[in-house]
A = this chain, B = another copy of it.
């Protein structure tokens, strides 16, 4: 059953009684071959258990059909959603994207990028790891491989970027909090070496300024972009003399952490302390209480990035327009104080 040495187009040719060139033509679906010949060849392909060798083909062909997705943190469901969006469009283009995880590690990222290049990728969609050096993508540029950044960007770089409107999202969220009557606000999580962070914090600050919140009433605490980071942020914030009463979190993971920490202290997220997240991952809606968050249409951005990529490959360019995706604030229960009647524990309360 198991075929000996792997079959090549020559084996097919022999089997079908044609030349290797004919087989190649059939493989490429050329209209030049007679239908009955094609049928014969296809049968032979099946019979010998042939598997196409794309590496060999790429040696002659101009471009491969491999597209890489380089993602900084696969365990964040946010990036999985992004990946899913991209896959939707690549699939309909007959392309199988390969995903590689850099685990937020620039060194690892370097390896991944190198490996992908050696593989001869046609293009790369990248959410760069924290601490990526400006030169990390120079080789790609030199080789003329199209690259687009998704969700994150590098400080000064000419690589096209697909991101949500971080500034506006943060502005909306902060304005909402202020509108609810909060006067002492915090921004939790993230770190200043990320451009996204600058943008989100910028929007937050602008809202505060415009709507009359004094700078000394603003608490900014950097931290890990994870649940753990959120817990830490809340703890240090509440330790101050005049603690904030509401926080915008760098992302939903941080917000979940904050809510958890509130509960641990016996405080109820929403009524006792307002929290707003960013990204609106699917869990946000299902959390308890449901998290108010800035929705960024993750999958949509993924699709967009994929389309841009496809277009770049097609027109063999390495440039493209940036795309700033629309955002909107999804208001749920985690930001008081228009307190809905909270369900009392262990009772047959009215179904929500």
Contacts and interface: CB of A to CB of B under 8 A. Distances in A.
A61 to B, nearest CB: 10
Range for the number of chain A residues in contact with chain B: 35 or more
A347 interface: yes
A98 B100 contact: yes
Contact of A260 (B49, B256, B288): B288
Contacts of A256: 286
Contacts of A260: 286, 288
Interface string A148-172: 0000000000000000000000000
Interface in A230-266: 256-257, 260, 263-266
Contact of A49 (B83, B139, B264, B286): B139
Contacts of A6: 143
Instruction: State the copy count for this chain.
Output: 2
A103 B75 contact: no
Interface stretch (A108-116, A204-212, A213-221, A303-311): A108-116
A143 B266 CA distance: 60
A119 B54 contact: yes
Interface of A: 1-3, 6, 49, 51-56, 58-59, 64, 66, 74-75, 77, 80-81, 83-84, 87, 91, 96-101, 103, 108, 111-112, 115-120, 139, 141-144, 227, 256-257, 260, 263-268, 271-272, 282-283, 286, 288, 342-352
Ordered nearest first, which 9 A-B pairs have the shortest CB separation? A55-B55, A266-B349, A98-B98, A96-B115, A99-B99, A54-B118, A75-B80, A268-B346, A74-B80
